[in-house]
Amino acid sequence: MSVKTMTAAVNEAIDQEMARDARVFVAGEDVRVGGPFGTEAGLHAKYGDKRIVNTAISELALTGIGVGAAAVGLRPIIEIMIMDFVTVAMDQIVNQMAKMKYMLGGQATLPIVVTTHAGVDSSSAAQHSGSLEAWFCHVPGLKVLMPSNAYDAKGLLTAAIRDDNPVVFISNKRCLQTSCEVPDEPFALPLGVAEVKRVGSDLTIVATGRLVIDALEVAEQLAGQGISVEVIDPRTLSPLDMETILASVRKTSRAVVAHEAVRTCGIGAEIAARISDEAFDYLDAPVKRVGAPFTPVPFAPLLEERYLPGKAQILEAVREIGLTA
């Protein structure tokens, strides 16, 4: 074990899987110089032009490269540097890679991973700050991953690269430089399994991405008031591990769901609805949702700060269900 940032953990997962399996390659914009966030740093020198492939500035084309390569037996990792740019590649992602196996009666295998970076980052403005994970959770045929720390990032990405199905792997930009202990050796985490990050008895907070870190800080703060908070990170948004979430809610009888994406139609809405559908008799208060306002992400730093959901919004949701003064 050694302490690594999420960026370093992602880089290590890619490196180790490329060393293990010659069919794995990376394609994307600027990946030969390490990619926009350093997740491919040093890989071009080690693996060369044929396996670290710089592409033109066309997300549609580079995703198409991945779909075709996966269909004939390779295992591509397609880097789309900013999540907002997936809009350009949606035909390939939604109509091709998500549906091909189904439409060909299971005869095709699509072992492709699309990696991208989501969320607010230092006034990057509306076209570079999106959190669009709920779009992909709505598409049958895709697995959608969103780790909150370096350990989960390495284990989930390794599992994604080894998986025979299309996977969208989403890193939150504000998690990339956070650090924790991560095994140096390759390891894979099971997809579709949530993790209880903190055990509690009075309230369940289900959070994704950077909001997991905020939720854990809120839980520590509330512990000083005698309130015991359980924090769950789904890690895999599709398939979603509702059993772990429901077991927690049945124990605590209260739930807050928090994510950075726009609150309207976010993944939190699905989680809240399923809690209400499947654990209504256990609830002592309505399920509360925390998310961004229904507006594009502003550029101005003060407005961006007001836009971004975090600890204050989670605490307000806890107050609204009657657990704090």
Write down how long the chain is. 325
Separation between Cα atoms, residue 168 and residue 124, nearest integer Å = 22
Is residue 40 annotated as a catalytic residue, yes or no? no
Residue 324 φ then ψ, to 5°: -130, 165
**Residues in contact with 149: Cβ distance below 8 Å, sequence separation at least 6, in sequence order:** 6, 175, 178, 180, 212, 213
Q: Which of 29, 59, 195, 304 is catalytic?
A: 59
Question: Could you give the C-alpha distances from 78 to 34, 178, 190, in angstroms and in order?
Answer: 14, 23, 21
Q: For residue 223, how many other CB atoms are within 10 A of its CB?
A: 14
Separation between Cα atoms, residue 94 and residue 277, nearest integer Å = 28
Separation between Cα atoms, residue 240 and residue 222, nearest integer Å = 27
| Start-end of H helices in 182-310 | 210-223, 242-252, 267-279, 301-307
Is residue 128 annotated as a catalytic residue, yes or no? yes
**Residues in contact with 243: Cβ distance below 8 Å, sequence separation at least 6, in sequence order:** none
Q: Which of 44, 117, 128, 259 is catalytic?
A: 128
Separation between Cα atoms, residue 251 and residue 198, nearest integer Å = 14
Tell me, what DSSP letter sits at residue 114? Answer: E
Bond from prior residue into 239 cis (ω within 30 degrees of 0): yes
Tell me, what DSSP letter sits at residue 296? Answer: P
Q: What is the DSSP string of 95-155?
A: IIITTHHHHTTT------EEEEEES--SS--TTS----HHHHHTSTT-EEE--SSHHHHHH
**Which residue type, as a one-letter code, is found at position 146?**
M
Instruction: Tally the C-alpha atoms within 13 A of residue 168's C-alpha that lie toward its C-beta.
Output: 35
Catalytic residue positions, numbered: 59, 128
